[in-house]
Structure 1
Amino acid sequence: MSTTPASGRDLSLALERVVRMVREVSTAGDISPTSATVLGVLARAGAQRVTDLARIAGVSQPAMTQLVNRLTQQGMLARVADDADRRAVLVEITDTGREVIEARRGQRAGALDAALARVSAEDRAAIAAALPALDRLVDAVLDS
């Protein structure tokens, strides 16, 4: 086993491949990666303003408004009043949206379970051991 510390470049390349794999195996709901990001954020964090969703997803506010309109028409999102500011509107995920997110997670879990079954027990143990550190790394990046 290598004792060379991971570099940002090495980690970036590995994570790019992981993200590509996740996108390729996540097809439930026939939605775009940006739509999946929005549904995931709303499922985890609760109702958000369109401007905040646009910032998180890295798209313009008009583009996010169009996406929210489309997902609302498909029954995956709903607009609700903001209790803190009655003039504002929040977007929240619906049960239909949650079902799509859960189906996508199930697809990813199935693909990863199948892949894990094809790698050595040593690799599975190394991957399991790395998960807490990866969570802390993500927190360090997102909290900065």
Structure 2
Amino acid sequence: MSRRDDAAGADIGAALYGLATRAARRLPRDMSLTSAATLATLDRTGPRRITDLAAVEGVTQPAMTTLVRVMEESGLVERQGNPSDKRVTLVSLTEAGAAYVRTRHQAGVQAFERLIGELTGDEIAALMAALPALRHLAELENQDRDGPKR
């Protein structure tokens, strides 16, 4: 990578990070960011072990166990046996958990739609041109974040 590419990467990274953190702060505070992220991970990847979820979300296994218990009591997740290994318990979304993820996602989309409505035609065209790169970045981030599925 050249110095120019390094500088562009830093500028783009700073812009995306700033946008993402401000967007996260605007979301409803009806649950912790870790809980919401865990639900989103389960929605994206399917059922996971508690140890896998802890690693993906960057918390300890006991903390994830507590988080899962609270979300289970709220009806957002359920524990189920793994058909291929009876010793393993998997955590999966319930319909209520999936609905929560969809509602939160839609609220985020709508917030960005309102902001995009304030842009000029040229700015919207620039974002449209960047969509393939942004989607690829999201895929790379998901691969990096989710790690191997067991």
Shorter-normalised TM range: 0.7 to 0.9
Amino acid at match of 1:67: L
Partner of 1:44: 44
Correspondences of 1:60-99 after superposition (within 5 Å):
60-99=60-99
What is the CA–CA distance in structure 2 between the aligned matches of 1:141 and 1:44, rounded to whole Å? 12
In the alignment, structure 2 segments of 5+ residues that lack a partner are: 145-150
Q: Given the two structures, how large is their TM-score scaled by the length of structure 1?
A: 0.88
Amino acid at match of 2:17: E
In the alignment, structure 1 segments of 5+ residues that lack a partner are: none
Amino acid at match of 2:58: G
Deviation, 1:102, is 1.2
Partner of 1:125: 125
Give the direction of change, closer, same or farther, for the CA distance of 1:139–1:107 in structure 2 (3 Å limit): closer
8 A contact 1:77–1:92 mirrored in 2: yes
Aligned-pair Cα RMSD in Å: 1.8
Q: Given the two structures, how large is their TM-score scaled by the length of structure 2?
A: 0.84
Deviation, 1:128, is 1.7
Amino acid at match of 2:70: R
What is the CA–CA distance in structure 2 between the aligned matches of 1:110 and 1:140, rounded to whole Å? 24
Deviation, 1:104, is 0.8
Partner of 1:10: 11
For residues 71-112 of structure 1, the C-alpha deviation after alignment (integer angstroms, 9 at most, x for no partner) is 111110000001121011000011111111111112111111
What is the CA–CA distance in structure 2 between the aligned matches of 1:98 and 1:142, rounded to whole Å? 18
Deviation, 1:143, is 4.4
Partner of 1:31: 31
Give the direction of change, closer, same or farther, for the CA distance of 1:141–1:112 in structure 2 (3 Å limit): closer
